[in-house]
Structure 1
Amino acid sequence: MSFVHGRFAVVVVNYASAALLRRNLVVVAREAREIDPDVSVIVVDNWSSADERRAAEEVAAENDWLLISPDTNSGFGGGVNIGVTRALADGATDVLVINPDAHIDRESLRLLASTTANARTTLASPRISDSEGRTWFDGIDLLLDDGTMRARRRRVAGDARPFEPWLSGACLWITREVWELAGGFDDDYFLYWEDVDFSRKVVSAGGSLALVEEASAVHDEGGTQRSGPELSRAKSEAYYYYNIRNRMLFAVRHLDDADVRRWRRSIPRTAREVILRGGRRQLIQSAAPIRAYFRGVREARRIARTQGADQKGRKWS
C-alpha cells in the first residue's frame, strides 16, 4: 500500500559526490520503495569533472536511477528546479528533495507523506541530526531586524524581535501544489539561502511550513562543503562566500528600503559571524576564509547598491 498522495519521486542534486550517492541515496531509495514500489529516483549531476560524471553515471545505472547531466554547474537551486520539474512532468505528485550527504528511514517518509496528504500547500521537513546524533537542524528562524539566524529552540517568550521560520533544503517534502504555489527555487542564489527564500515564498503565497518533529533524517558528516579533514569545523570557500552574499540577495528580494539599509550596515559583522562558524584555527591555516570574506562583503554591498533600487516599493508582508 502506498502512503503518498499519488506518485512519489526522490530528487538529489549531486556535485562531485558520487561516493555519497553510493553511501546514502542507495539507502534512501530502498526505504522509499517500501512506501511506494513505483518511486522514481532522479539525480541531477551538476558538472564538476569527467571522472565524477562517469562515477555518477555508473551508480545511477547500477540502481536504475534517472541521471540528468547538465553541461555546467547549475547550483543547488537550479539543480532542484531541473529535478523537480522533471519529476512533476513524469507524473509525480510528491517529491522528496534530499542532499547526497543525507539519508532518511521509511517511517519518517510515511510521516512526511501523511503530514501533507490533506494539507497539500504545506512544505514539510524532518528534524535532522548528524551521524553522531547531534542536532543539525530542528527549525531555524531568520531574524528580520538584522538577517542573523537563531535556532528555534532558542526562542524566548516575550522577545519582540520579528522573525521568519524556514525549512532546510537538505531534506524537504514538496507537493505539486507547493511547487506551483511558490514557483520553484530562485537559482540566482546558486548555493545557500535558496531554501530560506523558498520557505518565505511558500508562506507569502498562502502555504504553510511544517517541521515534522517525529520524522528524522541523518546528515552525513562527510558532506559536500568541508574544506579539510572530516573532523575540521572549517567550511569551503564557496560556503562562506555565498552565505555572505546571499543574505543581502534575500534582503533586496523581500524587504523594504529601510530594512535593506539596516541589513547593509551589518554586512561586515554578519560576514565575520559566518566565517567564524569554521573556528579561528582555519584563519592561520588557509587564506580561503579571508578571501571569501572580502569577496562576499564586496558582492553583498554591490547587490544592496544596485539591486536594491530595482526592488524599491517591495514591502515585507
Structure 2
Amino acid sequence: MTLFSVLIVNYKGWDALEDCLESLTLFSSDRYSIEVLVVDNCSNDNNLDAFISLYPSITFILNTGNNGFANGCNLAASAAKSNYYLFLNPDTKVDSLNLETYFDFYLKDSNAVLSCLQINENGTFYNQNNLLPKFITFFGIPRAIYKRMHRKKIAHKLNENENYFYPQWVTGAVVLISKNWFKKINGWNEDYWMYMEDVDFSNKVLKNNGKIAVLKKAVLFHKHGGASRINIKTKALTKTEVLISKHTYIQNNFSTTTSFLLHMRLTTGILLEKTILSFLSIPLFFIPKLKVHKIVLKNYVTYLFSAILNQTFISPRAMNYKKK
C-alpha cells in the first residue's frame, strides 16, 4: 500500500479546516493510505488543543509564528513520512473516489506536479488555464488582450488531451508532487509570505524540465478565500500581501531592467488606484468595502519605505526577509 502525505497550513481557518479534515478521515482505499499533517501558523486562539483531541490520528504541528504559507508547507514536508506530498488548502474537501483517481494518475504518468479540477460552492469550476507572468502579460488589461489575440497559441501550449491539460502554473490550493521533485526545486520559496509562491513554485518545476498538469478525471471542492478573508483588517492584510508578492515575484524572476520597469508600473498603478478609492471612502463611508482600500494604501506605503530602506522587495513578514 502506497502512502501519501496530505499537508495543510492553517491560520484561524478552523471551520473550513474541520470540514476538510472530516472529508479526509473518511478516505478509504485498498491501494493507498494517507497521513495528514496540519501546520498551525500560531493562530493563538485556543482552538488547536481542541482539534488535537478531536482528531487523534492527525499530526498537528504548531509553528513558531504566522510565518506564511511557504514556510508552513516546508515545515509540514519536513515532518512527512511518505515519498508523495499533497498540499491542500484548509478550505478544500475531498472524497475517496476522486482522491484515489488522483493518486492513480500521478503514479501512472511522468508529471512532476499534478493538480486537479476544482469546484466552488456555486458549482462553478475554477479557470486553471494559467500562464506565467511575462513582461507584456503581467498586468490585467494587457494580459486579457494578449490572451484574446493568441488564443490558438495558448491552446497549443495547454496541450489538452483526454486526461490532462498543461498550464504553466497551478494554484497552491491543490498540489501533488513527489518528495524527489520537491527536493529538486528546494521546496516552497520562503521569500513569499502569502500569494504567488505557487507561481514561483511552478516556475521552478518548469525550469527543471518538469511537467505541470491538471487532471480532468478528478474534482476537489475549494471554497475560495474561505480561510483567509475573515474581517476587514484581515482582508486588507491579504490584499496588501497580494501586491507585495507581485513585487517579490518581479524581483526573483526578471532581469534588472525589466524588474525596474515592472516595479515602477506596478507602484504607480497601485498608488493611483488606492488613493482615488481612499478619497471616495470619505463621502461613501457607508460602503464598508471602501475602508479596505484606505488600510491597503497605508500598508503599501509603509512597505515601499521598507523596501527602499532595506533594498529588497521581499515582504517583511516573509521568513527570508533580512532587515538592514
TM-score interval, normalised by the smaller of the two chains: 0.7 to 0.9
In the aligned structure 1, how far is the partner of 2:176 from the partner of 2:229?
Answer: 26
Residue pair 1:45, 1:56 contacting (<8 A) in 2 also: no
TM-score, normalised to structure 1's length? 0.78
Cα deviations across residues 177-198 of structure 1 (Å, max 9, x unaligned)?
A: 2201211001221111111110
TM-score, normalised to structure 2's length? 0.77
SS in 1 for 2:37: strand
Cα deviations across residues 202-260 of structure 1 (Å, max 9, x unaligned)?
A: 1112212101122211112571122459xxxx971122111100111011111111221
Cα deviations across residues 106-132 of structure 1 (Å, max 9, x unaligned)?
A: 333233323331445510111212111
> Is residue 213 from structure 1 mapped to residue 216 from structure 2 by the alignment?
yes
Q: 1:29 to 1:168 in 2, by over 3 A?
A: farther
Relative contact order, higher structure (CA 8 A, sep 6+): 2
1:123 maps to 113
In the aligned structure 2, how far is the partner of 1:273 from the partner of 1:114?
Answer: 49
Which residue of 24, 40, 47 maps to 2:35? 40
1:314 maps to none
Larger Rg computed on CA atoms: 2
Residue pair 2:110, 2:211 contacting (<8 A) in 1 also: no
User: How do 1:30-69 and structure 2 match up within 5 A?
Assistant: 30-31=26-27, 33-34=28-29, 36=31, 38-61=33-56, 64-69=57-62
**Higher deviation after alignment, 147-156 or 37-46:** 147-156
In the aligned structure 2, how far is the partner of 1:186 from the partner of 1:18?
Answer: 25
1:96 maps to 86
Paired residues in the alignment total 289
Structure 1: gaps of 5 or more residues? 309-317
1:312 maps to none
Q: 1:222 to 1:259 in 2, by over 3 A?
A: closer
In the aligned structure 2, how far is the partner of 1:105 from the partner of 1:301?
Answer: 47
Amino acid at match of 1:147: F
In the aligned structure 1, how far is the partner of 2:23 from the partner of 2:123?
Answer: 18
User: Taking every aligned residue pair, what percent have the same amino acid on both sides?
Assistant: 20
SS in 1 for 2:20: helix
1:313 maps to none
Amino acid at match of 2:299: R
SS in 1 for 2:187: coil
Q: What displacement does 1:55 show?
A: 3.2
SS in 1 for 2:33: coil
Q: What displacement does 1:302 show?
A: 5.7
2:300 maps to 296
Residue pair 1:246, 1:300 contacting (<8 A) in 2 also: no
Residue pair 2:73, 2:87 contacting (<8 A) in 1 also: yes
In the aligned structure 2, how far is the partner of 1:27 from the partner of 1:117?
Answer: 22
Residue pair 1:130, 1:219 contacting (<8 A) in 2 also: yes
The RMSD of aligned alpha carbons is: 3.5
**Higher deviation after alignment, 191-200 or 13-22:** 13-22
**Higher deviation after alignment, 197-206 or 264-273:** 264-273
SS in 1 for 2:39: strand
Q: 1:153 to 1:273 in 2, by over 3 A?
A: farther
> Is residue 178 from structure 1 mapped to residue 181 from structure 2 by the alignment?
yes
SS in 2 for 1:252: helix
Cα deviations across residues 42-71 of structure 1 (Å, max 9, x unaligned)?
A: 11111122412233323333xx10111123
Cα deviations across residues 131-179 of structure 1 (Å, max 9, x unaligned)?
A: 11112342322331152366999662358xx998210001111111220
Amino acid at match of 1:174: I
1:247 maps to 246
In the aligned structure 2, how far is the partner of 1:18 from the partner of 1:24?
Answer: 10
Q: What displacement does 1:301 show?
A: 7.8
1:311 maps to none
In the aligned structure 1, how far is the partner of 2:209 from the partner of 2:107?
Answer: 17
Q: What displacement does 1:40 show?
A: 0.8
2:191 maps to 188
Residue pair 1:147, 1:247 contacting (<8 A) in 2 also: no
Structure 2: gaps of 5 or more residues? 159-166, 314-324
Residue pair 2:87, 2:175 contacting (<8 A) in 1 also: yes
Residue pair 1:248, 1:300 contacting (<8 A) in 2 also: no
In the aligned structure 1, how far is the partner of 2:302 from the partner of 2:94?
Answer: 39
Q: 1:273 to 1:98 in 2, by over 3 A?
A: farther
Amino acid at match of 1:94: Y
> Is residue 85 from structure 1 mapped to residue 75 from structure 2 by the alignment?
no
Q: 1:273 to 1:37 in 2, by over 3 A?
A: farther
In the aligned structure 2, how far is the partner of 1:78 from the partner of 1:200?
Answer: 18
In the aligned structure 1, how far is the partner of 2:271 from the partner of 2:125?
Answer: 24
In the aligned structure 2, how far is the partner of 1:221 from the partner of 1:178?
Answer: 27
In the aligned structure 1, how far is the partner of 2:286 from the partner of 2:270?
Answer: 14
